[in-house]
Amino acid sequence: MVCFGYLITAAGIYNLTRLDLNAAFGTITFWRMIQVTGLAFIFIPISTLNYVGVPLSKSNQISSLSNFARNLGGSAGTALLTTYLARNSQVQQVTLAANVNSNSVPYRLYMDKMKEMLMAHGMSSDNATQTALGQAYQQMLRQASMLSYKNAFAILALTIFLLTPLPFIMRLPSKRAKPDPEALGGH
């Protein structure tokens, strides 16, 4: 079940590498739903396995250690991902900026159209040129950020896919008799 959850989650995250700046909210929501569908198949069995072979008197300690490990892993993962996104975004920005040529036809068309629209709204020619340049820079930043996220999704999908054999080497719970409910104080 955990292997199936890893495969669904990896496929859902890999699907997010198809994002672009014009993706519709509904599309993104659907792709995210695919991704999180697999999480139930991962977290419920793993949470259950935390208690395998542990006496009932130690359940509180296992619960606190499990929550601590989950919080620590989540915090460390978030910090690593945030750092990766910031650094990779800068790398993407440098790459994109290296390919900008102020004499290229697409760049000139973009700048002329932007300048024309801004001047139509009452800006002077110099202000419109500066604002168009700022808009081009902002567009480059958005594209660099999107490329960084796509790279992060690809790395996360590969990492989760590589975890798929892990459940097959985990220790299975031993077959033992069910405890008597009367001994546990049940009704």
pLDDT in tens, the chain (187 residues): 899 999 999 999 999 999 999 999 999 999 889 889 999 899 888 888 888 778 888 888 888 998 999 999 999 999 999 999 999 999 999 999 998 888 888 889 999 999 999 999 999 999 999 999 999 999 999 999 999 999 999 999 999 999 999 888 876 666 665 655 565 554 5
The pLDDT value recorded for residue 134 is 93
The pLDDT value recorded for residue 176 is 63
The pLDDT value recorded for residue 143 is 95
- The DSSP 8-state label assigned to residue 58 in this structure reads G
Angle at 91 between CA 75 and CA 96, to 5 degrees: 135
Q: Which residues have a Cβ under 8 Å from the Cβ of 7 and sit 6 or more positions away?
A: 38, 161, 164
Q: Which residues have a Cβ under 8 Å from the Cβ of 90 and sit 6 or more positions away?
A: 144
The pLDDT value recorded for residue 56 is 84
The pLDDT value recorded for residue 182 is 63
The pLDDT value recorded for residue 100 is 85
* pTM reported for the whole predicted model: 0.78
Q: Which residues have a Cβ under 8 Å from the Cβ of 181 and sit 6 or more positions away?
A: 187
The pLDDT value recorded for residue 43 is 87
3-state SS class at 182: coil
The pLDDT value recorded for residue 45 is 86
The pLDDT value recorded for residue 170 is 73
The CA distance from 122 to 20, in Å, is 32
Give me the helices (H) in 50-104, please: 59-98
The pLDDT value recorded for residue 88 is 96
The identity of residue 114, as a single letter, is M
The pLDDT value recorded for residue 48 is 82
